[in-house]
Amino acid sequence: MAQGAALRDRFSRHWRHVAPHSGFPPTGLSWHEVDMTDLTLTSGTPASLFAFGTMQFGDAADEAESRAMYDACRAAGITHFDTAVGYTDGASERILGMLAAEDRDAIYVATKIGYDGGGTTESLQAQFDQSRRQNGLDYVDLLYLHRFQGATPLETQFALLRDWQKAGLIRHIGVSNYAAWQVMKAQAICKDLGTRIDAIQPMYNLVKRQAEVEILPMAADQGIAVLPYSPLGGGLLTGKYSRPDASGRVVENAMYAKRYSPDWMRETAAGLARLAEEVGTSPATLAVAWVAAHPTGPIPIISARNVAQLKPSLDAIEFPMTPELRDRISALSITPPPATDRLEEA
Ligand SMILES: NC(=O)c1ccc[n+]([C@@H]2O[C@H](COP(=O)([O-])OP(=O)(O)OC[C@H]3O[C@@H](n4cnc5c(N)ncnc54)[C@H](OP(=O)(O)O)[C@@H]3O)[C@@H](O)[C@H]2O)c1
């Protein structure tokens, strides 16, 4: 089954069960009929419905550990791998490029440029050139602009991506950390340029649910694939930070410490750990499976620093999430109000 069809199928299955009490789909949408980009491999086979993020390659994971995680992902059926030009001073792209080159046609490689340096042609071109040198690949399957850069006209930025696409250097176009209105603006510009936004990469997890309000419904309406990052909240949702001696990004990295600082998030993580014990699985498995089971069918980008850490996230692929269990997990955190703010209609 083509990937768009698989996602629609997953969506329609969830829709039947979840829609009555989830607000999905919003009135007036018929998501079954949306023409969705298939994130296919060059062979035409759909890429996997879970992706792996290589932000730890070359840092928390040395080359041997990176390969071990890559192999574990492949064994679990994952073919979609995510990186960025700036990750780990280029080591992430270098290691992923080397691994992907061993079986290029079977791997979907996504990378990102444009987090730093603004969105000028010179800056984006220099970063794309650097990315190509680092990964050593003839083409990447998906190139994202890493964040919205409003100072340079979007026409300029996306014309460049369109040109690279026409030249066969990239296959699909994506954006990350864009607000919904920014995606729609970019999509209109892409249409005029004869291309489209195929994928978006927002943050989304049990304690970061803003994407539910505008981004996920927009993507479903527009047939844009969604690849949420940080399904474990950077590790918070593993439950390990309930131990005072816990180590990891959320206590060691100031940005993540701030992002996940509210007390209620710790309480949500503790509640998820209790629920996981009750159902006999790991909180990480529940957290990732919860993201994947959103009615719009996002493709979570899982990650870890070693194979042992990775296991519970991989287990989410086969976890039999039910609508009832997903509702219980959702109830552990704050559901964001609808875009209209009319709570009585939510
Ligand atoms: N577009 C963007 O702006 C953006 C931003 C962030 C990430 N991403 C992409 O999304 C991918 C995933 O994001 P993420 O790394 O934030 O995902 P995540 O799943 O929320 O966090 C992964 C981290 O959680 C911890 N962890 C994972 N499993 C664990 C376990 N079983 N026990 C204890 N700790 C565990 C590890 O960090 P510690 O060992 O340090 O605790 C691991 O690196 C990245 O690799 C990257 O490709 C994109």
Region 228-232 average pLDDT: 98
Asked whether 201 lines ligand 1 (CB < 6 A), one says yes
Least confident of 175-179, 180-184, 218-222: 218-222
Q: CA dist 61 to 93, 174, 302, Å?
A: 13, 26, 15
Q: Catalogue the long-range contacts made by 188-191 (C-beta closer than 8 Å, 24 or more residues apart).
A: 189/154, 189/155, 189/158, 190/158, 190/162
And the tokens for 326? 């997903």
- Nearest-atom index, ligand 1, CA of 312: 31
136 C-alpha to center of ligand 1: Å? 25
Neighbouring residues of 20: CB distance < 8 A, sequence distance ≥ 6: none
Higher pLDDT, 29 or 153: 153
Task: Please identify, by atom number, the ligand 1 atom nearest to the C-alpha of residue 236.
Answer: 24
Nearest CA to ligand 1 atom 46: 53
- Summarised one tens digit per residue, pLDDT across range 294-307 is 999 999 999 999 99
**Could you count the other beta carbons within 10 Å of the beta carbon of residue 121?**
12
Q: In the predicted model, is pLDDT for residue 7 greater than 70?
A: no
Q: Supply 74's token pair.
A: 């492949």
340 Cα: distance to centroid of ligand 1 (angstroms): 32
Going by alpha carbons, the residue nearest to atom 15 of ligand 1 is 303
Q: Is 232 in the pocket of ligand 1 (CB under 6 A)?
A: yes
Minimum CA distance residue for ligand 1 atom 45 = 53
Token digits for 112?
A: 């990102």
β-partners of residue 81 are 52, 109
Q: What is the pLDDT of residue 1?
A: 53
**Top-confidence residue, 270 or 25:** 270
- The answer, yes or no, to whether any atom of ligand 1 lies below 6 A from the CB of 142, is no
* Distances from the Cα of 10 to the Cα of 157, 169, 229, 296, angstroms: 33, 31, 20, 8
Kindly state if the Cβ of 283 falls inside 6 Å of ligand 1.
no
Ligand 1 in reach of 117 Cβ (< 6 A): no
Token pair 């990750």 in the structure block, residue: 87
Could you tell me if the CB of 233 is within 6 A of ligand 1?
yes
Per residue in 184-215, pLDDT tens?
999 999 999 999 999 999 999 999 999 999 99
Q: Which atom of ligand 1 is nearest to the CA of 205?
A: 20
Domains of the chain in start order, with CATH, are 3-233+291-319 (3.20.20.100)
| Ligand 1 atom showing the smallest separation from residue 231 Cα | 20
Atom of ligand 1 nearest to the CA of 247: 41
Where does the pLDDT of residue 2 fall: very low under 50, low under 70, confident under 90, or very high at 90 and above?
A: low
Pocket probe for ligand 1: among 176, 205, 288, 309, the residue whose CB has the most ligand atoms within 8 Å is: 309
The predicted model gives 93-120 an average pLDDT of 97
User: How much of the chain exceeds pLDDT 70, in percent?
Assistant: 90
